[in-house]
Each structure stands twice: as C-alpha cells, then as structure tokens.
Amino acid sequence: MIDFVPAEIEDSKLILSFIHKLAKFENFPYEISVQESDLEKNLFSEDALARAIIIYYNESPVGFIVYYFSFSTTTGKKGLHLDDLYVEPEYQGLGLGKKALKYLAGVAIDNECARFEWWSLKTNEKAINFYKKLGAKELQEITVFRLTQEDCQNMILLSRLL
C-alpha cells in the first residue's frame, strides 16, 4: 500500500536523512549544507516556503517529496515546482516515483497551476528517460543560472565600486 502523507515538523530529521541519501545517490556536485533547523523553518513554520510529503510503502517511510509554488508572468498563474523526489533504492521499480508525480500533478490541478516543472541533473540519464516516458518535455531553450549568497554579496560590493 502506498500513501503520500504531508510531513510534520517531527519528520525533519527523516527528511534530512533522505536529502543526504538523494545527494549521494545522484552524485550531487554541490555542497549539501542544509540543517534540520533549516527544514523546520522553511517547511513547517507559519511562513513556510515549501511543502514536504513523506512517501509510505506498507506503512514504512521510503521516500519524500518537496515542492513549492512559483508564479509565471506569461501565464498569469502559479506553477508547481518539484524540488526533490526521492525513493529509497530498494523500493525503486515499484511505481512509487510514477505515483508520486501523478500525486503532484493532482496538486497542480487542484491549485490551478499552469505548469508543473522540475529540474534534473544532466548526468541523471535514468531519471531523464523516466520523465520523458511519462510525457514530460525537456526544455532546450532555457538555461538555469545561479548566484550563491556569496556571489550576491560580491555583486553588491562590486556595484558600489563602479
């Protein structure tokens, strides 16, 4: 039996464990600096930025989902952004990932989202092939850019010098 249960603050330690396992599983190329207190604040406080779901299989927690809502000026509507989806390796191949994406598609519909999007590491060919089989479109015309907190500080300092 598969259940998708909204996470509670008591699940922060479990979610942190899943985050580290996911990073190891996909050979995540960046530092993982998240702390349990970050999850408590940003997933469970009054002004939480994202939502978390625990995936249960036969009443045991075997994975997690973290998502948040975005906004698109071109549609004038919100979107759903999947930040993380992880299923323990021994439970992969049972359809849990597919059911998790189906669950989130329902969340997107219920919340009148114009789109449901996520990112994938280019090296994660297994996931990319899985997403394409589900009908997801790989966007070629978009490149993701990022400034770290340090980069932001440097940019502000440099602009003061110019």
Q: Hey, which residues are catalytic here?
A: 131
**Pairing outcome for strands 115-118 and 60-72:** unpaired
Residue reference for tokens 């999850």: 39
Report the C-alpha gap between 101 and 30 in whole angstroms: 25
Q: What are phi and psi of 125, to 5 degrees?
A: -60, -35
| CA pair distance 118, 16, nearest whole angstrom | 20
SS3 83: strand
